[in-house]
Structure 1
Amino acid sequence: MIIKRGHYLQVEDGVWSVQKGDILIEGNVVKKLGEVTEREAAGHEVFDAAGMLVLPGLVNGHQHTPMSLLRCYSDDLPLMDWLNKKMLPAEMKMTSEDRYKGAMLSLAEMIKSGTTTYADMYIDMDTIAEAVASSGMRGALARGMIAMDANYSDRIEESRQLVKRWNGAANGRITTMIAPHSPYMCPPDFLKAAVELAKELNVPLHTHLAETADERQMIQDKYGSSPVQYLQEAGFFEDTHVVLAHGVHFTAEDLEVLQQVKRGGIIHNPVSNAKLGCGTSDLLALRRHGIAVGLGTDGPGSASTLDLFMEMKAAAWMQKLLHSDASALSSHDILTMATKTGAEILGLGNDIGTIEEGKKADLIMINMNQPHFIPAHEPTSLLVYAAAGQDVDSVIIDGEVVMKHRELLTMDEEKVMFEAQQSAASLLNRL
């Protein structure tokens, strides 16, 4: 395929710039950028991108896809009430079919709003992996593990089998991680077992960390340490690759520990954290300590929306308010978090996250011929502060067109929505 007559964004030293030229895709790789000769173009399908801006696909670093069935079911409650009184009882009643239909609904929403790669943490991950494989999405999948008792061997084995079955599947679109849910739901022995499993299988660790002040107090009361220190004592940061969701409540000592993380980083979920009243991460403090930060939505049961353009806005606004400084983070910083850095945190930075020759063809096209994009003084600012997921015209993942001119090509959108609605109604009837 050749993408012609469009413009594309590239990043160098944290600054994004608009380039004019063709994008030649062969197989699942960007073969050439710039002028494509007639000989090179022979036999290639032409995609006319006139009036569009081509971006690297967005990376959602933390998600729980089946929770789309519980969107706006449990709003306006503190996190622990939201989780324990509403979400967990409903999730315990979900069937495998429910989880598949919820995952498909989330995947459809993410593709339609420009996400091409995401990280999932849930149970019944074989079912979710099947959904990812059929949708064309790129996914980093993990079995979320809770160990409130001493008998956790089944969860460890499920995670091991997930890695063996799915790591590298779907032409490499599926990768895997090991996911002890959180410090407050995992005792020390279990955390150590999870760390050893990740090292044995050479995959990242994915966990929730320091999301609420209540979590910090729980760990302090039980173990006499902060959540970060608790993970450190379990060996969580010793020669591992870590994906740490949320990261809202850190001390200066915590940041010193996290500064030693060489592979991975924090996935900031500003909309979910604001909606649940958890607070917001101090991204400037993280950056001062050299800690990588990507963006995620969290599950649709909390965030309500899976639109990463909304997360970009929220991330920027909240840092400016937190620091009373309009220059706190630039639009270039935010777009980097949503693409390049997010890919690096998931361990995929060599393949995706930027538009470069030799990288995978994960691309999205934004229709710039709309009133809210005129005039185009600063394209990166327009994308972060003015764009929304609905502005995504077409999506290419792994060299395949999965959405063209707002039409999903890998799934029947009407069927996905109808079946998800039916599953959600049935689920609530079983409570």
Structure 2
Amino acid sequence: MKILIKNASIITMSKDREIFQNANIGIENTTIKFIGDIEEGFNPDKIIDSKDKVVMPGMNNSHTHIPMSLLRNYADDLPLFQWLSKKIWPIEDRFTSEHVYLGSMLSIAEMIKGGTTAFCDMYFGVEEIARAVDETGIRAAISRGMMGEDSTNDSTFSEVRSLYRNYYGAAEGRITVMAAPHAPYTCSDKYIHSIMNLADELNIPMHMHLSETREEVKECLEKYGKSPIEHMEELGLFRFKTLAAHCVHLSDKDIDIIAKNKVSVANNPGSNLKLGSGFAPVKKLLDKGINVALGTDGAASNNNQNMFEEMNLASILNKALCEDTTVVPAIKAIEMATINGAKAMGLDENTGSIEVGKKADLIIVDFNKPHLYPRLDIVSSIVYSAQASDVSHVIVNGKVLLENYELKTIDFERIIHSVDKVTKNLY
């Protein structure tokens, strides 16, 4: 399959952050073949005229829990630990494989329509999540959230091995797998060591919630005399490539540890704000050269999967917190949502930017909208003005998943009918 995208403005997010005007992109099978002038002899099967549109890399949602879309607006305006223990975990205990699958399909539909081409997930029922990824054409790094005191007779370890065996590299290479100790307050040291042994066995990276709330940090200091970051370093977790979600309450020592160990941080502005957790010290992290990506967290705590909203929040809130308009400029916010997310998931060699030889994971944003005029600066427009609903086309691995705002791989009416049916019974 050959696709020609023509007459586009292009935000590449390549190393030099090149921007092209009135240019073309050639896609052959799964890969970007050329950018700029149309190569001689290139005969496309499909032409997408992108006049008045901007092409950019797809968004990489670096931390979420996609089946939780079924819990959207269920338990709002509660403190995190009360929200989890009194509301979320009890109803999740009632989830079946059908709930996980339908919640995944609902979230993936939302993500595709909003310009997300890859996501990093932590949940249970992981083979149902992988099935949804396979069917819909999106890209994903999937991890089974693991909580416990002792790994003896713990079936989650078998689930991770099964996920790795059945799905790692599956779906035309769109699925990868991570190990995921949930958090320091839900995993004993012994249990974390068992997960590290599993990660060694499978040669996979780590994905973990860290330092999300003051209460978590306080509890860890009281129990171990160390912050969650210090404690995980002492346990040896950071010898693995690690994606740390949240990292809201960090000391300067914590930040130095994160930098030294090349840990990626998934900043989740919307979720952290809504749950009252605080706001991560993004400027300090960036100043230390730390790879900061963006995530939505689950739709139960956000309550959406809108990466355009996360870009906007990451930029404007950091300016206010630092009282400095130069903090997290628009191009940095796009970087966090695209190439940094790909790097956090270990996918940056293949995706996260529009470059010849990389996978064709890209989106087209329709600028023929009132809120995007006048067209003075397309980078600023993407971060400060554009909406997820402005995405007209999504291509992943060279396959069109959204065309003229229409989902091509998901029967949306069937999904929402099924979601309505199962949630009525669930609640």
TM class by shorter chain equals over 0.9
CA distance in 2, matches of 1:197, 1:135: 29
Residue by residue over 1:135-184, the C-alpha shift from the partner in whole angstroms, topping out at 9 and shown as x without a partner, is: 11101000110114553642222212211211100000011100010111
Determine the structure 2 residue equivalent to 1:96: 97
- SS of 1:326's equivalent in the other structure is coil
- SS of 2:359's equivalent in the other structure is coil
Deviation at 1:421, TM superposition (A): 1.9
Task: Answer yes or no: is the 8 Å Cα contact 1:293–1:337 preserved in 2.
Answer: yes
Determine the structure 2 residue equivalent to 1:349: 348
Deviation at 1:289, TM superposition (A): 1.8
Deviation at 1:16, TM superposition (A): 5.4
Determine the structure 1 residue equivalent to 2:37: 35
Deviation at 1:200, TM superposition (A): 2.5
- SS of 1:6's equivalent in the other structure is strand
CA distance in 1, matches of 2:153, 2:316: 42
Determine the structure 2 residue equivalent to 1:210: 211
State yes or no: 1:323 paired with 2:308: no
Q: Give the 4+ runs in structure 1 shifted more than 6 A.
A: none
CA distance in 2, matches of 1:127, 1:13: 36
State yes or no: 1:201 paired with 2:202: yes
TM-score, with length taken from structure 1: 0.96
Task: Answer yes or no: is the 8 Å Cα contact 1:364–1:395 preserved in 2.
Answer: yes
CA distance in 1, matches of 2:15, 2:407: 34
- SS of 1:183's equivalent in the other structure is coil
Which runs of 5 or more residues in structure 1 are unaligned?
none
Task: Answer yes or no: is the 8 Å Cα contact 1:14–1:336 preserved in 2.
Answer: no
Give the direction of change, closer, same or farther, for the CA distance of 1:348–1:116 in structure 2 (3 Å limit): same
State yes or no: 1:362 paired with 2:353: no
State yes or no: 1:407 paired with 2:409: no
CA distance in 1, matches of 2:286, 2:200: 27
Deviation at 1:362, TM superposition (A): 0.5
State yes or no: 1:117 paired with 2:126: no
Task: Answer yes or no: is the 8 Å Cα contact 1:142–1:178 preserved in 2.
Answer: yes
Residue by residue over 1:391-413, the C-alpha shift from the partner in whole angstroms, topping out at 9 and shown as x without a partner, is: 00010010000110111000111
Determine the structure 1 residue equivalent to 2:190: 189
After the TM superposition, which residues 201-280 of structure 1 pair with which residues of structure 2 at under 5 Å, given as runs? 201-238=202-239, 240-262=240-262, 264-280=263-279
Give the direction of change, closer, same or farther, for the CA distance of 1:186–1:86 in structure 2 (3 Å limit): same
- SS of 2:311's equivalent in the other structure is helix
- SS of 2:380's equivalent in the other structure is helix
Residue by residue over 1:4-26, the C-alpha shift from the partner in whole angstroms, topping out at 9 and shown as x without a partner, is: 12221123557452343211111
- SS of 1:291's equivalent in the other structure is coil
After the TM superposition, which residues 43-122 of structure 1 pair with which residues of structure 2 at under 5 Å, given as runs? 43-122=44-123
CA distance in 2, matches of 1:310, 1:131: 24
Task: Answer yes or no: is the 8 Å Cα contact 1:4–1:21 preserved in 2.
Answer: yes
**What is the identity, as a one-letter code, of the residue corresponding to 2:395?**
I
Moved more, 276-285 or 42-51: 42-51
Which of 25, 34, 38 pairs up with 2:27? 25
**What is the identity, as a one-letter code, of the residue corresponding to 1:79?**
L
Give the direction of change, closer, same or farther, for the CA distance of 1:321–1:95 in structure 2 (3 Å limit): same
CA distance in 2, matches of 1:366, 1:2: 16
Residue by residue over 1:59-93, the C-alpha shift from the partner in whole angstroms, topping out at 9 and shown as x without a partner, is: 00011011000101110001011111111111111
Task: Answer yes or no: is the 8 Å Cα contact 2:6–2:22 preserved in 1.
Answer: no
Among the aligned pairs, what percent are the same residue? 40
CA distance in 2, matches of 1:93, 1:105: 18
**What is the identity, as a one-letter code, of the residue corresponding to 2:244?**
L
Residue by residue over 1:276-331, the C-alpha shift from the partner in whole angstroms, topping out at 9 and shown as x without a partner, is: 00000011111122211000000000000111000011111211111111111100
Task: Answer yes or no: is the 8 Å Cα contact 1:16–1:380 preserved in 2.
Answer: no
- SS of 2:13's equivalent in the other structure is strand
- SS of 1:119's equivalent in the other structure is strand
Task: Answer yes or no: is the 8 Å Cα contact 2:4–2:44 preserved in 1.
Answer: no
- SS of 1:249's equivalent in the other structure is coil
Task: Answer yes or no: is the 8 Å Cα contact 1:152–1:190 preserved in 2.
Answer: no
**What is the identity, as a one-letter code, of the residue corresponding to 2:8?**
G
- SS of 1:88's equivalent in the other structure is helix
TM-score, with length taken from structure 2: 0.97
Aligned length: 425
After the TM superposition, which residues 367-406 of structure 1 pair with which residues of structure 2 at under 5 Å, given as runs? 367-406=366-405
Residue by residue over 1:234-256, the C-alpha shift from the partner in whole angstroms, topping out at 9 and shown as x without a partner, is: 11112x11011101011111112
- SS of 2:170's equivalent in the other structure is coil
CA distance in 2, matches of 1:209, 1:39: 52
CA distance in 1, matches of 2:46, 2:258: 47
State yes or no: 1:296 paired with 2:298: no
**What is the identity, as a one-letter code, of the residue corresponding to 1:57?**
G
Task: Answer yes or no: is the 8 Å Cα contact 1:180–1:191 preserved in 2.
Answer: yes
CA distance in 2, matches of 1:289, 1:52: 35
CA distance in 2, matches of 1:43, 1:232: 51
CA distance in 2, matches of 1:227, 1:400: 41
Give the direction of change, closer, same or farther, for the CA distance of 1:292–1:68 in structure 2 (3 Å limit): same
CA distance in 2, matches of 1:300, 1:90: 15
Task: Answer yes or no: is the 8 Å Cα contact 2:68–2:299 preserved in 1.
Answer: yes
CA distance in 2, matches of 1:13, 1:343: 14
Determine the structure 2 residue equivalent to 1:310: 309
Deviation at 1:55, TM superposition (A): 0.6
CA distance in 2, matches of 1:268, 1:37: 40
